[in-house]
Structure 1
Amino acid sequence: MSAIEPGPIISSAHLADGASPALSELEFSLTLAANAYQKWIVRCAAAAGQQLAPLEVLVLHSVRHRDRPKRFMDLMLVLHVEDAHLVNYAVRKLSRAGLVETRKVGKEKVIEATPAGIAFCDAYRAIREKVLVGDVKSSLSEETLSQMAEALRMLSGDYSQAARAAATL
């Protein structure tokens, strides 16, 4: 019996039959990575003492970024979330948990991490350093990680443009 030459790892053969089988392979890998990442941030948040949904973790880290208040609309832009109600719900939940505070500056809503939110982010970072960073660094260099991040940002733009085009069909 001869060995079968493995092909690309895909989840949808009907998509891989098109002009770019490698894109189908990438999309399946993105699905796996996105799901694993969301599972990771939820579990890391729990280990740091908070039961949060993935978007809530992302919102809190974005609010904490550079330790200055963030405008609500800037959070939506940075996180690339179009549905304001999703971010608004996350902010309300974080506020109820005492991790962020909201206030008005003029007509705009701004969100700021509380001391408890800062402590949570610090605990999250310590757990991340302990259980994730070493494993990643053992297989991928900082340069490779940066190149991968750049490629993913470029793909994000491609998918956003394709989404706009698909919406007009």
Structure 2
Amino acid sequence: MPKPKSSKRLVAATAPSGGSGAAEFQPNAVSRDLSDFEYALITLMFGFQTWSENCLDAADFRGLKSLDILVLHAVNHRARRRRLNEVCMVMNISDTHLVAYALKKLIAADLVAVHLQGRERVFEATAKGEEACLAYRKVREQYLVPGVDWIADVSQRSKQAANFMQAMTALYAQAGRIATAETAGNPKSPPLHTKR
């Protein structure tokens, strides 16, 4: 991956007192287009989360949140046992606690089983979990796919979109690492207080 064009070291901006400094920042055209993409991505993300919950509800497996459902599909994919870190890697989730909690819920619901493989815990879908995944796919095929099929050139468009989103995933990860590394020596403000 190429590094961003700007080679200038990032410096924390200090706005004059009484001003936000927003007027001094003028994003270029690519930045504005990226903002449009990111807003569409946010609405797509939450729309997909709602759909995944509605889909499994319609399949008569109720009570799971979107992340639980996606973790179940990740564990069930290709019918092989997976370690916690493998599930996190497949889903590009850095916070293992989120996935661990979802797995705990899935185990309690008898959708996922945990086994010891040496000293490691590995997870696999139970028969009930496989049934839930199959029921999800059937509801998806019946209610979502026909609507998507109305879009012109949907196969080509979906492949292009998937490729673009995979490239953007890599670019976000790279930019995050570079930003963290290049600002590591800057004075840091204390963490924001988020508890009241």
TM-score (ref. length: structure 2)? 0.75
RMSD: 1.6
Q: What are the residue-to-residue correspondences of 1:3-152 with 2, within 5 Å? A: 17-19=26-28, 20=30, 21-48=32-59, 49-139=61-151, 140-152=153-165
Runs of 4+ in structure 1 off by over 3 angstroms are: none
Which structure would you say has the larger RCO, counting Cα contacts within 8 Å and 6 or more residues apart?
A: 2
Residue 56 of structure 2 aligns with an amino acid whose one-letter code is: A
* Percentage of identical aligned residues: 35
Secondary structure in structure 1 of the residue aligned to 2:85:
helix
Give per-residue Cα distances to partners, 1:35-82, cap 9 Å, x unaligned. Answer: 101111111122222221111111100111111211211101000111
2:175 equivalent to 1:162:
yes
Q: Is the 8 A contact 1:72 1:108 kept in 2?
A: no
Tell me how many residue pairs correspond in the alignment: 155
Structure 2 gap segments, 5+ residues each:
1-22, 184-196
Structure 1 gap segments, 5+ residues each:
1-13
Secondary structure in structure 1 of the residue aligned to 2:63:
coil
Shift of 1:166: 2.9
Secondary structure in structure 1 of the residue aligned to 2:150:
helix
**How far apart are the structure 1 equivalents of 2:34 and 2:44?**
15
Residue 25 of structure 1 aligns with an amino acid whose one-letter code is: D
Shift of 1:115: 0.6
Shift of 1:165: 2.4
TM-score (ref. length: structure 1)? 0.86
**How far apart are the structure 1 equivalents of 2:53 and 2:173?**
26
Residue 66 of structure 1 aligns with an amino acid whose one-letter code is: R
**How far apart are the structure 2 equivalents of 1:90 and 1:42?**
14
Is the radius of gyration larger for structure 1 or structure 2?
2
